[in-house]
A and B are shown apart, each in its own frame.
Chain A
Amino acid sequence: MAPAGFESLKALIVEDNTHMRSLLRALLNSAGIKDISEAIHGQAGMQTLRERKIDLVLTDLAMAPMDGLELTRHARNDENSPNPFVPIIMITGHTEKGRVEAARDAGVTEFLAKPITAHNLFARITEILERPRAFVRCDSYFGPDRRRHETENYMGPWRRAEELQNVGAR
């Protein structure tokens, strides 16, 4: 039996619509991702991020009381954020240029427009695995480098703090 590779991965779905949550869970399951948490808005999503070592976030944009943009900003910038580098895929029907730019400026890793297909969702996860983004920190922004390019001499991927310490020791 072919190994899934996702056995250790912890995913979080933040979506207020129960049908979309079910579909996303089923699609992630079909790829072998089994450890999936769910939250119905950004605030609950942040709580889950703090409680569990989440490796991948799928979030809707429009939710109340906290939307996907605010969740992303908190995940990237909060002092007590457990993983400011966590990959965040924003899933939304709002595909207007301004909304996409707002998502990018909040620090989203990938943007996935509805209607959702398995092919498109898996393509975004593939992109994160194959071409992990460099991060940029400046006065007004922390998040994935908004200019996409190949990173030279990339030796990863590395996982979690233990491996990071090894990188630091090199």
Chain B
Amino acid sequence: MPRGRKLASGAQFIAPDAYPQMLSRPDAARALLNLRSAETAAKAQVAMEAAIPPMRAAILRYVDEMDAAAHDLKKLFAIAHEIRGFAETAGMITTGRIAEILCRYMDDMERAGKPPDATIVALHASAIARAARAEEDDVRMGEKVAAELAALVARRLAEAH
């Protein structure tokens, strides 16, 4: 274990040149050029685009599971968490945004030691399903729905605290 210098607080400070780095200096220089190259950006773009169709299909499967888990809040939260994790990466902005609001609400209620309101959860689950199943992600309409749900959640959370 490398030894560093002692700080006034008694903590040990270990400078970057005192421990092994991720890459040697020459490799790091080449890696940096590579990370900034147009060729790498183009390859990454192709990778992102290839990932989207299977992600969208997976989100639709999650939505089906969400329908089936309507009365199982724990499972529903787990599914919403998965959806929020990569819906936006898959280009399903509205779906991800509503899943995010639902997850935050359920997190906040758990922290407050209170059960989530079943109506609010059902409203969000329904909005997530509609957004995900829409052929085109209607961002403007979706944002309106998400904003209304967020306002509703804020009111209910204020009542809960």
Contact = CB atoms under 8 A, between A and B. Distances in A.
Chains A and B are bound partners: yes
Contacts of A129: 22-23, 28, 31-32, 35
Contacts of B39: 2
A32 B15 contact: no
Interface string B99-128: 010011000000000000000000000000
B4 to A, nearest CB: 7
Contacts of A2: 30, 33-34, 37, 39
Interface stretch (B67-75, B83-91, B135-143, B150-158): B83-91
Contacts of A9: 22-23, 27, 31
A55 B16 CA distance: 15
A148 interface: no
Contacts of B159: none
A125 B23 CA distance: 11
A114 B89 contact: yes
Contacts of A159: 20-24, 27
A23 interface: yes
Interface in A152-170: 153-161, 163-164, 167-168
Contacts of B20: 83, 85, 158-161, 163-164
Contact of B47 (A29, A87, A133, A163): A29
Given A20-B86, A133-B16, 17 more contacts: A2-B37, A5-B29, A5-B31, A5-B33, A9-B22, A19-B86, A23-B48, A23-B51, A26-B51, A27-B48, A29-B43, A30-B43, A31-B40, A85-B19, A135-B14, A157-B22, A168-B2
Interface of A: 2-9, 17, 19-20, 22-23, 26-27, 29-32, 55-56, 62, 83-85, 87, 93, 96, 114-119, 122, 125-126, 128-130, 132-138, 145, 151, 153-161, 163-164, 167-168
Interface of B: 1-2, 4, 7, 9-37, 39-41, 43-48, 50-51, 54-55, 58, 81-82, 84-89, 96, 100, 103-104
18 contacts: A5-B27, A5-B33, A9-B22, A9-B23, A17-B86, A19-B51, A32-B31, A56-B22, A85-B20, A114-B84, A122-B35, A126-B35, A129-B31, A137-B11, A151-B15, A154-B15, A157-B22, A158-B24
